[in-house]
Amino acid sequence: MPYRVGVFVGSLSKNSINRRLATALVRRSPDGLAMQEIPIRDLPLYNHDYDAEYPPVGVAFKAAVASVDALIFVTPEYNRSIPGALKNAIDWGSRPWGQNSFALKPSGVIGTSPGHIGTAVAQQHLRSVLSFVNSPELAQPEAYIQFHDGLITEDGEVTVESTAELLDKWLRLYEEFVCKVISVNPKPAP
């Protein structure tokens, strides 16, 4: 049975190049991974007042995170960090205290940007946050993809062979990593 992987797209833009990258990852995913996006668009800004009674959108979000075996974060870089919407989603999923939905779920971080260093700084910030919420992370290979027009089509076709090879390698190693983490930290019986 394939591992269920929740995919977070850090951009809320309809025309997001990171959404294209996420679509390409889903399209190219190996048979051992069943990927589905976990949307973050409708989450209000998190604050501690919600901890007493999560709104339905927060409950549904936490349930979606709980339903998957592993996570992939596809992040743009905004002002040398992660987008506020992505950080907000992590805050929702990790709260209230003691009910962290990300704990022990293996994660992978990837992103694309038109800049030469891709999303390197955002990914480092995201890795710090994921460490705090106890989500084991695939450390290598890192994947900072410089986007240019036509690199990935809207339906997720990768048009440059070297980029396709990079994504395939990243996905294979991510799948191996997920398998290792889950074998060490199996889900408790219901």
Condensed to tens digits (0 to 9), the pLDDT of residues 48-100 reads: 999 999 999 999 999 999 999 999 999 999 999 999 999 999 999 999 999 99
- pLDDT over 90 for what percent of the chain? 94
- For residues 179 and 171, the answer to whether their CB atoms sit within 8 Å is no
Which of helix, strand or coil describes residue 93?
helix
3-state secondary structure of 2: coil
Please state the domain extents for the chain: 3-184
Q: Residue 112 has what pLDDT? A: 97
Q: Tell me how far apart the alpha carbons of residues 49 and 10 are, in angstroms, rounded to a whole number.
A: 24
Spatial separation of the C-alpha atoms in residues 58 and 95, rounded to whole Å: 10
Q: List CB contacts of 94: < 8 A, sequence separation 6 or more.
A: 100, 101, 102, 133
Residue 68: CA count within 13 A, CB half-sphere: 28
For the domain spanning 3-184, the CATH number is 3.40.50.360
Peptide bond into 96 cis (omega under 30): yes
Using only the alpha carbons of the chain, give its radius of gyration: 16
pLDDT tens digits in sequence order for the chain, 190 residues long? 899 999 999 999 999 999 999 999 999 999 999 999 999 999 999 999 999 999 999 999 999 999 999 999 999 999 999 999 999 999 999 999 999 999 999 999 999 999 988 899 999 999 999 999 999 999 999 999 999 999 999 999 999 999 999 999 999 999 999 999 999 987 755 5
pLDDT at 189: 52
